[in-house]
Amino acid sequence: MQHRGPDDEGTYHDENIFLGHCRLSIIDLTSFGHQPMSNEDNTLWIVYNGEIYNYKELNVELSRHGHQIRSNCDTETIIHLYEEFGKECVHHLRGMFAFVIWDIHTKTLFSARDQFGIKPLYYSQVKEKLVFASELKALIASGLVPKVINPTAIWHYLSFGAIPTPLTIWKDIWTLPPAHRLTFCNGRVEIEQYWDPKTTQIQSEGKGMTEQEAVSEVRRLLEEAVHLQLISDVPLGAFLSGGIDSSTIVGLMTQFSHQPIRTFSVGYDVGGDKFDERRFALMAARHFETDHQELLVTCQDLISKIEKIIWYMDQPSHDALNSFVVSQAAASGVKVALSGLGGDELFGGYSTFKFISLLHKFHWVKRNLPSWVKQTAVKLEKALHMRYRAQWPLRVCVGIGGGYDTIIEQFAIIRFFFTDIEKRSLLSPDFLSFLRSDDQHNSSLHLLRIIADSVHDSDLFNQISYLELKTYMGDVLLRDMDVMSMANSLEVRVPLIDQKLVEFVISLPGYLKQDGSRKSKHLLIESVKDLIPIELLYRRKKGFALPMPIWLLEPGLREIVEDCLSEQSVHNRGIFDWPAVRQTKREFYERNQFGNSGQVWLRVWILTVLELWFRTYLSGFQQEVMNGTNVAIQ
């Protein structure tokens, strides 16, 4: 865990508990910030990762209630809040956090995670013991948790490109979900949700607002969030791609700083403007007069670090590499970086918003189509799934024809890399036998339905936004950013998912954020159009991505892929069916011949990452899992 906290470390133990902490010192660099930390009479002990941005205001209030504040550290704030409010202390915290508090008197362990899961917390109950950590590798290193793979996690990984909460790659190790708190007492674990962005109190906040009122309030909350997140006793900077989200963050930072903001961007030696955004980042840097630094990344750079990256990755993910390279760039100059992550999910920047909205606009067409058209569309979807994933006209035709009837199916066809049907062809019979026979339990669509059932909003835009916040942002982007930034001993903050900002924006009706006549992120653009150069404000959206479709064909990385997905490797691992893997590779190479691999390369990369992860963390899947060990979730 030292990469997460190279500045200090400490432990506390008694006959009931052992707490350990590695510190990345950001606020109060003195010994007063040392952890584990206790209250005045040493009856409460805490270990904590994160930042509480409103801790100074909370400390003033706590002092009025008689609490003695000894440090200028937000860790101490949480202890006194717990003394004052018990488990309800979480409702006073504005920030990112994962913490554990041990109460000596009641012999109770209390833990909580922030509203969006910016900071991680993993746990496992082993008989009467509870083991917890910020990374899975620490739990495995404890020797208390057996190294047994969770096949259901692999099943869902193939769809999501990451392991969805609360599962992890390891059997019997769980992720505490965002906005949840955990209590452990007398050998029993109790978990409850303490917050949701669509609670009844919040729901009516934005109703009845005019667009101008909404724009004004979004701007106020953006400024408040960025200003709060500038607290730091160490050098601080920002990621800058030249897109709307990162430019908004940097532009607002300049309003609150008397010195040039340090900004960082990443470029590549191949792919041109399709992948490399340095031209736009430089445009923004010059406009805001930042101290700008660029990092050029090549395929060989990636190859030289791939083993280390996979180890830091902690569990398989298709999207962690870009988080590593941008964190590496920023860590060369600062210890804290602000990111524009979350803007697409909140304000409607992804193609899911456009695609699903378009399908619903043509709902009247679907009602009047003959049944054979729908049947043909469904067959087409099954037969040509990956071939048309990147082809908008065909996807729209299939959708209008009836191939996607529900928002869950529509969301899944864009976000899933492998459908449940495809996975049954891709996985080996031996592996499939280790999954539960209950098809509904194994269905990734069913998992999405569970998430969607918690969306108490009939507004289509808000439903999509909620799904994006809960799935892609939470399980992929935030998780990857945490492990990859902390691998570089860098703290990353995300003002665009400040709690109050999210609560307000998600309470607004979708038509204020985007409709058919408006561009993506209409509300955000209107809120910052006086701040950002027009060339950046209305430029075509481009996601932050490495030129992997090109690199996967270059010597070195292609050899890694071919080795990981060779016939011998596939047979030795025992997870996949070799003909299906061969067909997946062939489809990628064939598409590249025509210069358009679409998203097919991601299917190849997802399989490669999984094999690389196994080689890093296990000596062999069949040896450790399949030999008579039942690894299905109970």
pLDDT tens column, 48-87 = 999 999 999 999 999 999 998 988 999 999 999 999 999 9
pLDDT at 579 over 50: yes
Rounded to an integer, what distance in angstroms lies between the CA atom of residue 160 and that of residue 445? 11
Q: What percent of the chain has pLDDT over 90?
A: 69
pLDDT at 24 over 80: yes
User: What is the pLDDT averaged over residues 430-444?
Assistant: 74
List helix spans (H) across 362-443: 363-367, 371-383, 392-398, 407-415, 420-426, 429-432, 439-442
Q: How confident is the model at residue 423 (pLDDT cuts 50, 70, 90)?
A: very high
* Strand pairing category for 174-175 and 122-126: antiparallel
Q: How confident is the model at residue 516 (pLDDT cuts 50, 70, 90)?
A: low
User: What is the pLDDT averaged over residues 176-180?
Assistant: 97
Place of tokens 């430029």: 539
Helix or strand holding residue 101 (H, E): strand 95-103
Amino acid 224: pLDDT: 98
Q: How confident is the model at residue 438 (pLDDT cuts 50, 70, 90)?
A: low
* Strand pairing category for 336-338 and 236-239: parallel
Amino acid 344: pLDDT: 95
Amino acid 361: pLDDT: 76
Amino acid 378: pLDDT: 67
pLDDT at 120 over 50: yes
Provide CB contacts within 8 A for 476, sequence distance 6+: 160, 161, 162, 317, 318, 319
**Domain spans of the chain, in order of start:** 2-193, 200-347+468-537
Q: Tell me the residue ranges of DSSP E strands in 436-549.
A: 491-493
Q: Tell me the residue ranges of DSSP E strands in 496-634.
A: none
The neighbour count for residue 156, using CB atoms within 10 Å, is 21
Amino acid 629: pLDDT: 37
Picking from 15-24, 190-199, 292-301, which range would have the lowest pLDDT averaged per residue?
A: 190-199
Picking from 183-192, 237-246, 369-378, 540-549, which range would have the lowest pLDDT averaged per residue?
A: 369-378
More confident residue, 107 or 398: 107
- CA within 13 Å, CB half, 364: 1
Highest mean pLDDT among 417-421, 433-437, 521-525, 621-625: 521-525
pLDDT at 200 over 50: no
Helix or strand holding residue 286 (H, E): helix 278-288
User: What is the pLDDT averaged over residues 204-208?
Assistant: 65
Amino acid 297: pLDDT: 94
- Token output for 625: 């899992």
Amino acid 238: pLDDT: 98
User: What is the pLDDT averaged over residues 140-158?
Assistant: 93
In whole numbers, what is the pLDDT of the chain averaged over residues?
88
Amino acid 203: pLDDT: 53
Burial of 127 (0-12, 13-18, 19+ CB in 10 A): exposed
Q: Determine the topology of domain 200-347+468-537 in CATH.
A: Rossmann fold (3.40.50)
- Token output for 586: 């062939």
Amino acid 617: pLDDT: 92
Secondary structure in 3-state letters for 500-513? HHHHHHHHCCHHHH
Q: Give the dihedral sign, CA 600/606/607/612.
A: positive
More confident residue, 428 or 544: 428
User: Dihedral (C-alpha) 415, 445, 430, 573: value to the nearest 10 degrees?
Assistant: 20
Q: Which CATH architecture has domain 2-193?
A: 4-Layer Sandwich (3.60)
pLDDT at 592 over 80: no
Amino acid 520: pLDDT: 81
Rounded to an integer, what distance in angstroms lies between the CA atom of residue 348 and that of residue 344? 5
Highest mean pLDDT among 66-70, 282-286, 541-545, 600-604: 282-286
- Closest among 38, 35, 58 to 134, alpha carbons compared: 35
Amino acid 457: pLDDT: 72
Rounded to an integer, what distance in angstroms lies between the CA atom of residue 611 and that of residue 204? 48
Amino acid 561: pLDDT: 96
- Closest among 447, 569, 471, 432 to 154, alpha carbons compared: 432
Q: What is the DSSP string of 149-202?
A: B-HHHHHHHHHHSSPPTT--SBTT-EEPPTTEEEEEETTEEEEEE---TT-HHH
Classified as helix, coil or strand, 384 is coil
- On whether the CB atoms of residues 139 and 145 are closer than 8 A, the answer is yes
Picking from 365-379, 402-416, 536-550, which range would have the lowest pLDDT averaged per residue?
A: 365-379
- Token output for 41: 């009479």
Amino acid 515: pLDDT: 61
Q: How confident is the model at residue 628 (pLDDT cuts 50, 70, 90)?
A: very low
Q: How confident is the model at residue 622 (pLDDT cuts 50, 70, 90)?
A: very low
Amino acid 49: pLDDT: 97
pLDDT digit string (tens) for 318-356? 999 999 999 999 999 999 999 999 999 999 999 888 888
Q: What percent of the chain has pLDDT over 70?
A: 88
CA 398 distance to own-chain centroid:
30
Q: How confident is the model at residue 426 (pLDDT cuts 50, 70, 90)?
A: very high
More confident residue, 151 or 515: 151
Picking from 47-51, 419-423, 435-439, 624-628, which range would have the lowest pLDDT averaged per residue?
A: 624-628
- Token output for 631: 């690894």
Q: How confident is the model at residue 624 (pLDDT cuts 50, 70, 90)?
A: very low
Picking from 117-121, 217-221, 477-481, 586-590, which range would have the lowest pLDDT averaged per residue?
A: 586-590
- Residue 290: phi and psi, rounded to 5, are -90, 165
Rounded to an integer, what distance in angstroms lies between the CA atom of residue 243 and that of residue 283? 10
CA 626 distance to own-chain centroid:
31
Evaluate the omega torsion of the peptide bond into residue 36 and state whether it is cis, within 30 degrees of 0. yes
Amino acid 413: pLDDT: 81
Q: Supply the angle between the helices 600-617 and 557-564 in degrees, to the nearest 10.
A: 70
Amino acid 343: pLDDT: 96
More confident residue, 559 or 272: 559
Amino acid 514: pLDDT: 79
- Closest among 610, 623, 172 to 427, alpha carbons compared: 610
The neighbour count for residue 48, using CB atoms within 10 Å, is 25
pLDDT at 129 over 60: yes
User: What is the pLDDT averaged over residues 400-425?
Assistant: 83
